[in-house]
């Protein structure tokens, strides 16, 4: 059939184009009149915390939304990717968790964790990396392609005199210095750790010693070793009434310590998770793969990103939309930001600003490397919840509610 189409297009391009347009029009008419549904040309990028769930509690509006998105066979009617800045869980475990919460099968390749795009950082995969975070830390890092890993706990065991904040964990005797520990060649920050004081101390030691924390250097090297980090969210929403510290808060602490000790800025060789462009490009690729797997031939032109955090979800979607207006590596032509009021954002929240010293205002909570750009914090649409967001998208795309 494809070969026949190519012949027709070659010999009668005008006729072929008119036939394609007519087929598309008829397909739309069939759908509008309740007949065969035309393939989707749009996809959804859905945040999880504050959009689908609050902690372990599913938000009722999310369940209503998926009743509209599923067909009678329990299959999604449109491509959907779940894009979260969480990272202290495996992709498979997150898919299983979502499946149980939402009541339909979520595949692992429908889930993007904050560090998932680090699979693309192959130039660092052979380095010996100090990895920080919690959960299945080594498993996640290996799944991303990193081959040589040292955890903070392993580094602390090799050099116990480095961790001195907790009096109960201080060594009772002074161990012999080690000279057989291979140098660390980079730092991999996959999520907030449990013992912040230990991780902050040992990561700083590695950076100041050029990967040899058992030694001391008169001058800290600069540029320092490569640092890769995922999830710059300052805050996130769980069951508590107020937002909780995210990995962005940990990064803020690390940056402040490094600047205070060296007088220089901590530099990242890569930042992933929302709002980074790389994360949205990665998500676009997964949407296209999902559509192909379902047999939907039409390219996915319009993306709708639904989130609860203006600093990551809205900023990232708007940044990607701007990017698509000038550079189009894939099929997508637009990315609309939709902000819901079931998580970090509330309808009474003041607009973020960079206030002058001594003035009042809502401070900018985004990461310093993305900068304060007020226009990127304005959502294309503000709705109450995911159900309203899905109704909005289906209406805009001309799909039956």
Domain count, the chain: 1
Residue 294 lies inside a defined structural domain of this protein = no
Burial of 233 (0-12, 13-18, 19+ CB in 10 A): buried
Residue 266 lies inside a defined structural domain of this protein = yes
Give tens-digit pLDDT for 256-289.
999 999 999 999 999 999 999 999 999 999 999 9
Q: Find the distance separating the first CA and the last CA of the chain, reported in whole Å.
A: 34
Residue 358 confidence (pLDDT): 47
CB 336 within 8 A of CB 317: yes
What mean pLDDT is predicted for residues 176-200? Answer: 94
Residue 349 confidence (pLDDT): 61
Residue 34 confidence (pLDDT): 43
Give tens-digit pLDDT for 5-62.
332 333 333 332 333 333 333 333 333 334 467 899 999 999 999 999 998 899 999 9
Reduced to 3 states (helix: H, G, I; strand: E, B; else coil), residue 334 is: strand
Question: Which of 7-16, 18-27, 359-368, 381-390 reaches the highest mean pLDDT?
Answer: 381-390
Of 94-108, 133-147, 326-340, 350-364, the range with the lowest mean pLDDT is 350-364
CATH number, residue 155: 3.40.50.1000
Residue 271 confidence (pLDDT): 97
Residue 83 lies inside a defined structural domain of this protein = no
Residue 352 confidence (pLDDT): 56
Written as six digits, the tokens of 98 are: 């979502």
CA 156 to chain centre: 30
Residue 168 lies inside a defined structural domain of this protein = yes
Residue 20 confidence (pLDDT): 32
Side by side, which strands form the sheet with 381-383? 111-112, 80-83, 42-46, 302-307, 334-340, 381-383
Residue 33 confidence (pLDDT): 37
Domain limits for position 243? 117-271
Range list of β-strands (E), 197-327? 227-230, 235-236, 244-245, 270-272, 302-307
Residue 163 lies inside a defined structural domain of this protein = yes
Residue 359 lies inside a defined structural domain of this protein = no
Of 143-157, 164-178, 387-401, the range with the lowest mean pLDDT is 164-178
Share of the chain above pLDDT 70, in %: 87
CB 331 within 8 A of CB 303: no
What mean pLDDT is predicted for residues 313-319? Answer: 97
Residue 350 confidence (pLDDT): 57
Query: Please, which pLDDT band fits residue 360 given cuts at 50, 70 and 90?
Result: low
Share of the chain above pLDDT 90, in %: 75
Give the mean pLDDT of the chain: 88
Residue with structure tokens 């009722």? 60
- pLDDT above 80 for 68: yes
Q: What letter would DSSP give residue 314? A: I
- Sign (positive or negative) of CA dihedral 212, 216, 217, 222: positive
Residue 204 confidence (pLDDT): 97
Residue 347 lies inside a defined structural domain of this protein = no
Residue 251 lies inside a defined structural domain of this protein = yes
């Amino acid at each position: 059939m494809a070969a026949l189409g190519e012949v027709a297009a070659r010999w009668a391009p005008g006729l072929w184009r008119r036939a394609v347009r007519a087929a598309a029009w008829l397909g739309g008419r069939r759908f509008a009149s309740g007949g065969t549904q035309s393939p989707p040309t749009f996809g959804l990028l859905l945040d999880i915390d504050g959009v689908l769930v609050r902690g372990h509690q599913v938000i009722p509006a999310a369940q209503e939304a998926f009743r509209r998105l599923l067909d009678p066979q329990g299959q999604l009617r449109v491509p959907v990717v779940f894009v979260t800045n969480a990272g202290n869980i495996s992709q498979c475990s997150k898919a299983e968790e979502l499946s149980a919460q939402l009541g339909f099968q979520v595949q692992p390749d429908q889930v993007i964790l904050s560090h998932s795009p680090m699979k693309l950082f192959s130039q660092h995969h052979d380095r010996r990396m100090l990895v920080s975070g919690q959960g299945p830390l080594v498993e996640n890092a290996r799944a991303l392609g990193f081959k040589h890993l040292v955890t903070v706990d392993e580094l602390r065991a090799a050099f116990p005199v480095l961790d001195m904040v907790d009096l109960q964990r201080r060594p009772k005797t002074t161990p012999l210095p080690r000279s057989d520990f291979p140098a660390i060649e980079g730092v991999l920050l996959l999520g907030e750790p449990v013992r912040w004081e230990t991780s902050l101390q040992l990561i700083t030691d590695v950076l100041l010693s050029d990967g040899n924390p058992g030694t001391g250097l008169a001058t800290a090297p600069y540029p320092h070793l490569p640092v890769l980090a995922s999830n710059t969210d300052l805050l996130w929403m769980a069951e508590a009434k107020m937002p909780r510290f995210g990995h962005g808060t940990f990064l803020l602490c690390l940056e402040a310590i490094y600047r205070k000790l060296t007088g220089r800025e901590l530099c990242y060789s890569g930042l992933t998770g929302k709002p980074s462009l790389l994360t949205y490009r990665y998500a676009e690729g997964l949407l296209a793969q999902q559509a192909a797997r379902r047999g939907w031939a039409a390219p996915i032109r319009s993306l709708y990103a639904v989130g609860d955090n203006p600093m990551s979800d809205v900023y990232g979607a708007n940044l990607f939309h701007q990017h698509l207006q000038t550079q189009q590596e894939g099929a997508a032509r637009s990315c609309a930001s939709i902000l819901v009021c079931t998580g970090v954002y509330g309808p009474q929240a003041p607009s973020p600003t960079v206030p002058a010293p001594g003035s009042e205002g809502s401070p900018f909570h985004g990461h310093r490397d993305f900068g304060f750009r007020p226009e990127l914090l304005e959502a294309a649409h503000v709705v109450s919840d995911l159900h309203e967001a899905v109704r909005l998208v289906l209406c805009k795309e001309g799909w039956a509610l």
